[in-house]
Amino acid sequence: MHRYLRAAAIFVFAFVVMSSAYAQNATFRVLAFWTTEGEVDHSDFARQAIEFYTEAAGRDHFEFRATTDWKEMNTETLAKTQVVVWLNGQPGTAEERAAFENYMNHGGGWLGTHVSGYNDRSTTWRWFVDFLGGAVFFANNWPPVPAMLHVDDPTHPVVKGLPRSFLAPANEWYVWKPSARANPAVKVLVTLDPSNYPLGFKDRLLSGDCPLVWTNTKYRMLYVNMGHGDKVMSTPEMRTLFENSLLWLGKSAN
């Protein structure tokens, strides 16, 4: 028994030392927000993404931490953070939203995935709609299905190493009206390939331009539509996309 306790203590000590080393050598700090509430598929993705980014932090030399406490969306915490990630939710109070607005208006970094960007015509947080490039949710396919994606700008760091077209795992694909592409400040990096149409079975996407990954160039931000279910991070292309996205935002902070 004592031998097992001693081994456990050594493991904990080594983990703390390793974590401290990562923190000391980190080129940037990331704080990921998520929630266990809402759709199970969204929480499953969040857990998968947290595991992936925890591993990536070691090889890419950044500090990564995840929390379900959205009260950490405050001025003091954000001042120590170079990139904020929303995995499956949004801040719910006026104070949290104001802190985030101030953070982004002063050069903060944001990576949002799937449902974290959701808004519709009843949304009262107008700043966030503008921040997202004016994109308003219009429709989605159902059930989640794989889809071919098209890289719009192969020279951009976010899509470095990706083929011009590739198959993405099953996801719930969002269509936006107006589309973010209509905003001259928005740069679209990945689009749903038109060859997918009609897409879905119960709810089908039949046609139209469907941006999936974009940045509003007025901010240091990136939105990625993928984030539904536990298969999203299952391919090399998707792992490359998500890793590139965080590194691009983090390195641009320096």
The answer to whether the beta carbons of residues 109 and 249 sit under 8 Å apart is: yes
Q: Is the confidence at residue 100, as pLDDT, over 80? A: yes
Tell me the mean pLDDT in the region 80-109: 98
Question: From CA 130, how far away is CA 164, in angstroms rounded?
Answer: 29
Q: Ramachandran region of residue 33, left (φ > 0), alpha (ψ -120 to 50) or beta? A: beta
Q: Is the confidence at residue 5, as pLDDT, over 50? A: no
Q: What angle do CA 135, 48, 151 make, to 5 degrees?
A: 45
Q: Is the confidence at residue 228, as pLDDT, over 50? A: yes
Q: Is the confidence at residue 11, as pLDDT, over 80? A: no
The answer to whether the beta carbons of residues 43 and 228 sit under 8 Å apart is: no
Residues in contact with 211: Cβ distance below 8 Å, sequence separation at least 6, in sequence order: 135, 176, 179, 180, 181, 186, 188, 190, 191, 192, 225
More confident residue, 7 or 236: 236
Structure tokens at 44: 């499953």
pLDDT of residue 254: 66
Instruction: Give the Å distances, CA to CA, from 172 to 195, 211, 226.
Output: 17, 13, 8
Q: Is the confidence at residue 212, as pLDDT, over 80? A: yes
Number of helices (H), then strands (E), belonging to the chain: the values are 6, 11
User: What band does 9 get if pLDDT is binned at 50, 70 and 90?
Assistant: very low
Q: Is the confidence at residue 186, as pLDDT, over 60? A: yes
pLDDT of residue 24: 53
Note the pTM of the prediction, 2 decimals: 0.90
pLDDT of residue 253: 84
The answer to whether the beta carbons of residues 100 and 71 sit under 8 Å apart is: no
Cis before 91 (ω within 30): no
Question: From CA 48, how far away is CA 45, in angstroms rounded?
Answer: 5
- What's the mean per-residue pLDDT of the chain? 91
CATH superfamily of 28-251: Class I glutamine amidotransferase (GATase) domain (3.40.50.880)
Closest among 82, 94, 50 to 232, alpha carbons compared: 50
